[in-house]
Amino acid sequence: MRVPEHCTADAGMFFDGHPAELALYEALFRRMDGAFPEGTVKVQKSQISFYGRHLFAAASLPVRRRKDWPKMCLMVTVGLPYRLDSPRVVAASEPYPGRWTHHVLVTEADQIDEELMGWLREAWDFAESKR
């Protein structure tokens, strides 16, 4: 994955005070780096964004937590052309017709599994197919 020079330091600042979430992000990044070597990553104010030609996924700290969400978690967001039907999806919305945004909470590194990576691959393919 193409990573700007300051990205690692910026990610550290993004997760300042959240070492467990930083560890989850680092595990996610390792998987993303292997799966999307041509992708890029950008640390922003509210999320860390993953791009091909277009944004296809993001990692963030939940801002507005629901009561039943774990205290420590990383939110992984993927964009797909359909609504996922999975208990792992904690929120989904359709900001544009045929474009669904899904949020998945990750509390353990082993949850960055083949299912999640499959959704990320689909999100990459969907984003790359956009004009």
Distances (CA, A) of 13 to 32, 33, 76: 20, 20, 18
* pLDDT tens-digit readout, 62-79: 987 788 889 999 999 999
Which pLDDT score, from 0 to 100, does residue 121 have? 98
The candidate with the shortest Cα–Cα distance to 25, out of 84, 16, 86, is 16
| Confidence grade of residue 130 (pLDDT, cut at 50, 70, 90) | confident
Distances (CA, A) of 48 to 40, 103, 131: 11, 14, 23
Residues of the chain with pLDDT > 70, as a percent, come to 100
- Between CA 100 and CA 61 the distance in angstroms is 20
Q: Is the pTM of this model over 0.75?
A: yes
Which pLDDT score, from 0 to 100, does residue 8 have? 85
- What is the average per-residue pLDDT within 17-33? 97
Domain boundaries, the chain: 7-129
Which pLDDT score, from 0 to 100, does residue 22 have? 97
Whether residue 3 is predicted with pLDDT greater than 90 in this model: the reply is no
Q: Give me the amino acid identity at 126.
A: F
- Between CA 40 and CA 49 the distance in angstroms is 8
